[in-house]
Amino acid sequence: MDNRRIVIKQDVLNALKKIGVKNGHNIIVHTSMKSFGFICGGPQIIIEALIESVGEDGTIMMPTQTWKNLDPSYGVHWEEPKEWWDIIGNNWPAYNKEITPTNSMGAVAEMFRRWPGTIRSNHPVRSFAAWGKNANYLVNNHSLSDIFGETSPVAKLYDLDGYVLLLGTGYDKNTSIHLADERANYPSKHIEENSCAVLKDGKRERITYSTLYVDGEDFIDIGNEFEQNYEVKKIKIGNANVRFMRQRDIVDFAVKWIEKNRI
């Protein structure tokens, strides 16, 4: 038996309005297409509904990460034989924000990065794309070593008092919690070296840089406890669970949670 529901664009528009998405909002969006059921029109109608909901005075941002560009020694090509890793590392294409596809970000983010008017940050591994009034402010000057920190797109969204919209995804995909990771103090917090391929003067070059170790294993626990203390607006679109929250609320809560619970 097929238990999927069919979703049309008006369903998305109605749901976004009902949970409080308004003209002028600045929102980071995480989406899982398969969670909805059948979307009539695919990723296109999701993006159109988001843009129409925030209008020209608002901004939509999505992560467009390309973490398979990392050196294979970090385990990002775990599905391939280890004896291939050196070959992969020496030949993986350098990041080009205009053409490099996303890795595991989903069909909506992949279409969004190429959407007319969307601009993408220069980070070769942890890029973001944004459309709208504050797009340039959010994604410009994305520092190589400051992936999710104080100069990153997620921190700039915090400064704008933006929102988080989870369309069929859970807190494990809530990138804003990485900002809390940057701000929190805990014993196991540490810096690591990353290596990836970039373009310099039109030529491929592998570079190494230092950045905070990215850890998201406890994000679901953070989200579950967060919902016991803060208002998270929820609705269903088709088969998908949708959550809408103020970014400052989840980030500030997560800082305290991490400092209390991480060793």
Q: For residue range 142-152, list pLDDT tens digits in order.
A: 999 999 999 99
Q: Which single residue is written with the structure tokens 């230092």?
A: 210
pLDDT in tens, 110-120: 999 999 999 99
In 3D space, the residue among 199, 200, 195, 198 whose CA is nearest the CA of residue 210 turns out to be 195
pLDDT of residue 53: 98
pLDDT of residue 69: 97
pLDDT in tens, 3-53: 889 999 999 999 999 999 999 999 999 999 999 999 999 999 999 999 999
Domain boundaries, the chain: 6-70+95-186+215-261
pLDDT in tens, 131-170: 999 999 999 999 999 999 999 999 999 999 999 999 999 9
Burial class (CB in 10 A: 0-12, 13-18, 19+), 224: exposed
Q: Are 5 and 39 in contact (CB under 8 A)?
A: no
pLDDT in tens, 201-210: 999 999 999 9
Burial class (CB in 10 A: 0-12, 13-18, 19+), 252: middle
pLDDT in tens, 234-254: 999 999 999 999 999 999 999
